[in-house]
Amino acid sequence: MMRLRIGLCLASVFVASLALAQGGIDKRRSGYQDMGPSLQKMQDDGTANPGMLFVQLGAQAWATPAGAANKACVDCHGASGATMKGVALRYPAIPEGADTPADLEARINLCRTANQKAAPLPPESRELLSLSAYVAHQSRGQPIAPPDDPRLAPFRERGAALWAARQGQLNLSCAACHDDNAGKKLAGVTIPEAHPTGYPVYRLEWQTLGSLKRRLRNCLVGIRAESYAYDSPEYVMLELFLMERARGMAFEAPAVRP
Amino acid sequence: MWNLALLLVVLALAVPAARAQQVVGDAIPTSLTGQPGDAGRGRAIVASRNLGLCLLCHSGPIAEERFQGNLAPSLAGAGSRWSEEQLRLRIVDGARLNPDTIMPPYYRTGGLQRVARNFQGKTILSAGQVEDVVAYLATLRD
């Protein structure tokens, strides 16, 4: 049953990419399309989108030297950030010399520790969110494009298995809501298809910017399941699965969500 | 000696509970507590966002709750469609009737994965709360 579910999950991912390649109509919906016009406008308007404040903070952090190496991101990656164009679209990926995938936040922290010789930035810290918003913003409007690295496949498959597995006191899987009941109302809320198109997002309920991990933790808490630790590989596996499932969809970071 | 006394008390409590949950066909014939539930309390549990959670998925004749779900059939008329005995099994563990159901098992702790620490070993509703919900649903007649 479980295996069948996973098989179906991955199969539907490939069918979606195939339909896209053949120019079929893409029925996938970003959370953006489930929002009312006023929130859509807030996201689209650079002066109204609160996420853009984090992009500006990120631009400052990008140019500020840090760590024992006393180097800034600009020193190696250029002042404009243009070298980061397209980068967020293909994470999680396996960094040079590593054998497990890292998501964008972890990749930035790798530069903190290896290149700046500084302490890693804590999860959900203002500085890490700002830097990832700055990097992610360089890819706004481009299609999500996970790398064709065969080493990622086993991690992505484990992500698909996590997606399909029931968990928590409420005994629900991610798929039960986001595949089988997307578009329906959970109390007053439209269940989105859960595409990772907008992260980091400014969520009104949080009153701040937050990472995809934080969003996944919210759903785990909702079904009364134990959250994974922030640095646990399970999130990266789920992120790999979600990015493949959203391949070709337009990237919107920093998005706004209710 | 003390421990033995405690053990006997625990057994005395456990045995009737196990017997009470006996499933016969598509129903649990006897009250989980041995007492009838209270429909007024049951209504409050069904309406509650963090206790019953029912209106996340269902709609129902509870007008003051504006936000109701549409993942599941309306609860209106549930008492005409099902007996109290059938409703009891549906609430206790709907998977006994439909293994693929998304309706949470309200009175089961076994077979669940990665339950959050603060909920481990606990049922979503207590036996008394299940009986209250059953009593309320039984009043929902077409």
Q: Would you list the domain boundaries of chain B?
A: 20-139
CB contact under 8 A, A225 and B122: no
Of residues B44 and B6, more confidently modeled: B44
Is A99 in the same domain as A41?
no
As a residue count, chain A comes to 258
Is A43 in the same domain as A56?
no
Is A157 in the same domain as A88?
no
Phi-psi region of B98 (alpha: psi -120 to 50; beta: other; left: phi over 0): beta
Is A177 in the same domain as A113?
no
Residue A56 lies in a domain: yes
> pLDDT tens digit string along B68-80?
999 999 999 999 9
CA-to-CA distance for A243 and A255, rounded, in angstroms?
A: 16
Is A98 in the same domain as A73?
yes
Please state which CATH number belongs to domain B20-139. Answer: 1.10.760.10
Work out the minimum CA distance from A185 to partner chain B, whole angstroms. 5
Residue A82 lies in a domain: yes
pLDDT confidence bin for A13, thresholds 50/70/90: low
Q: What is the predicted pLDDT for the residue at B5?
A: 46
Residue ending a domain, among A137, A166, A197, is A137
Find which of B112, B122, B123, B124 to mutate to test the A interface (most A CBs within 10 Å of its CB). Answer: B112
Residue A4 at interface with chain B, using a CB cutoff of 8 Å: no
Find which of A5, A163, A171 to mutate to test the B interface (most B CBs within 10 Å of its CB). Answer: A171
pLDDT confidence bin for A25, thresholds 50/70/90: confident
Is A203 in the same domain as A155?
yes
Q: What is the ipTM of this complex?
A: 0.87
| Percentage above 70 pLDDT, chain A | 91
Is A56's pLDDT higher than 80?
yes
CB A104 within 8 A of CB A134: no
Can you give the residue range of the structural domain that contains A126? 51-137
Residue A6 lies in a domain: no
Residue A115 lies in a domain: yes
pLDDT confidence bin for B16, thresholds 50/70/90: very low
Per-residue burial over B96-116, b = 16 or more CB atoms within 10 Å of its CB, e = otherwise = beeeebbbbbbbbeeebebbb
Nearest to B47 by CA among B138, B142, B137, B141: B137
Residue A4 lies in a domain: no
Is B14's pLDDT higher than 80?
no
CB A115 within 8 A of CB A69: yes
Residue A3 lies in a domain: no
Is A177 in the same domain as A120?
no
CB A213 within 8 A of CB A235: yes
- Domain of residue A64, CATH code: 1.10.760.10
Chain A residues in contact with B115 by the CB 8 A cut-off are 167-169, 224-226
Is A36 in the same domain as A164?
yes
> pLDDT tens digit string along A98-125?
999 999 999 999 999 999 999 999 999 9
Q: What is the mean pLDDT of chain A?
A: 93
CA-to-CA distance for A34 and A247, rounded, in angstroms?
A: 19
Q: What is the predicted pLDDT for the residue at A2?
A: 46
CB contact under 8 A, B104 and A171: yes
> pLDDT tens digit string along B42-89?
999 999 999 999 999 999 999 999 999 999 999 999 999 999 999 999
Is A153 in the same domain as A120?
no
Is A159 in the same domain as A216?
yes
Q: Identify the weakest region by mean pLDDT among A2-6, A125-129, B27-31, B63-67.
A: A2-6
Residue A14 lies in a domain: no
Token output for A70: 């006393």
Is A84 in the same domain as A67?
yes
Chain B residues in contact with A174 by the CB 8 A cut-off are none
Is A152 in the same domain as A250?
yes
Q: What is the predicted pLDDT for the residue at A5?
A: 55
Q: How many domains does chain A have?
A: 2
Residue A43 lies in a domain: yes
pLDDT confidence bin for B21, thresholds 50/70/90: confident
